[in-house]
Amino acid sequence: MKNKISSIKRIYSKEGLNSLFREGSSYILVSSSISPFLKSIMGDLMHQKIWMFLNLGYWPDIKEPQTFNEKIMHRKLLTNKEIFSIVEDKWRVRDYVKKKVSEDILPDIYQVVENPENLSFEKLPNEFVVKPTHLSGPVLLVDKNDEINKNKIKRKCKQWLSETHGKIMGEYWYQKIKPRIIIEEYLKENDNNPPKDYKFYVFHGNVKYIHVDFDRHSNSHKRRFFDKNWNAKDFKKDYKVGPKIKRPNKLKEMIEIAEKLGENFDFIRVDLYNLNDDQIVFGEMTVAPASGTNSFEPKKYDEKFGKLW
154, HSE (Cβ side, Cα atoms, 13 Å) = 10
* Higher per-residue confidence, 267 vs 39: 267
**Does the residue 154 lie in any domain?**
yes
254 forms beta bridges with none
Number of domains in the chain: 1
Domain that holds residue 157: 108-184
Mean pLDDT of the residues in the chain:
90
What pLDDT was estimated at residue 30? 85
Lowest mean pLDDT across 26-40, 41-55, 106-120, 177-191: 26-40
Percent share of the chain, pLDDT over 70: 92
**Does the residue 143 lie in any domain?**
yes
**Does the residue 84 lie in any domain?**
no
- Model confidence at 17: pLDDT above 60: no
**Does the residue 151 lie in any domain?**
yes
**Does the residue 174 lie in any domain?**
yes
- Model confidence at 152: pLDDT above 60: yes
**Does the residue 85 lie in any domain?**
no
Q: Contact at 8 Å (CB) between 50 and 44?
A: no
Measured distance CA(39)–CA(77) in Å, rounded: 13
Model pTM? 0.90
- Model confidence at 218: pLDDT above 80: no
Average pLDDT over residues 48-59: 93
247 band by pLDDT with thresholds 50, 70 and 90: very high
**Does the residue 39 lie in any domain?**
no
**Does the residue 281 lie in any domain?**
no
What pLDDT was estimated at residue 43? 92
